[in-house]
Structure 1
Amino acid sequence: NAVIYWLLPRVAGEPLMRLIRMSEHGGCPTVSNIWRNTRTVRTWPPIRWLAWNMAYHAEHHALAAVPFHALPRLHALVGDRFEHVEQGYWRAQRSLIRNGWRNSHA
C-alpha cells in the first residue's frame, strides 16, 4: 500500500512540483529584500486551492504569519510591490529560461 499511496504519487508528481518550486525563487536575486527575492504566480483557482495558495509565494514569505486562506487578500493589498509577479507557471518558466536560470536556488 505504501507504494500505491506514497511512492507512486511522489514519483508521478515530482516533475510538476519541481517546476512549481523553481518558479518560487528561481531567477530572483539572492538578496535579503523580500520584495525582490521571491516570485508570486497568478494562476487558476483550482491550482491555488490544491497548493494552499502557495502561488502567492512572495506574500507568504513577506508575512509568514498570514494563514494560507488570507493570502489572496494580502496579494490584493501588497502584490503590486513585488518585483517578480508572473501570469501563470508557463510564463514563469519561460522567464527563467529566457534569463538563463540566473540565481536559481529552488
Structure 2
Amino acid sequence: MLKWLIIAVAGYLLFRMLTNDQKRKSQDGDKEKERMYAAGEMVKDPVCGAYVESDGGISVRDGETVHRFCSYECRDKFLEQLKGGGREIPATAQTEKEPE
C-alpha cells in the first residue's frame, strides 16, 4: 500500500512540475509579444485584432500604407470591406506573401 501511495505522490508532483513549466513558458511568450509590440516589431491585424510581425506575413500594399494580416481569410475580408465600402482598390495595390 505504501508503494502505491509513493507512486501516486510522485506522479502528482511530476504533473505539477510539468503544468507549472507550461504556464511559465506561456507567460514568457506573452511578455515577449508585448515587448515586440512596444518596440514596433509587431502590428495589429485590422480585421481580427491579432498581433503579427511587422516584417513578415501576409500583407496588402495600398499606396504608401502596408496592412499586415494573420491569415489569408483576414486579408480577403479586408479587401471585401474595401470594395463593399465603395472604395476602389488601386491598380497598384499588391497582395503578397513575404518569406517567413
Q: TM-score, normalization: structure 1?
A: 0.28
Higher relative contact order (CA 8 A, sep 6+): 1
More helix by share: 1
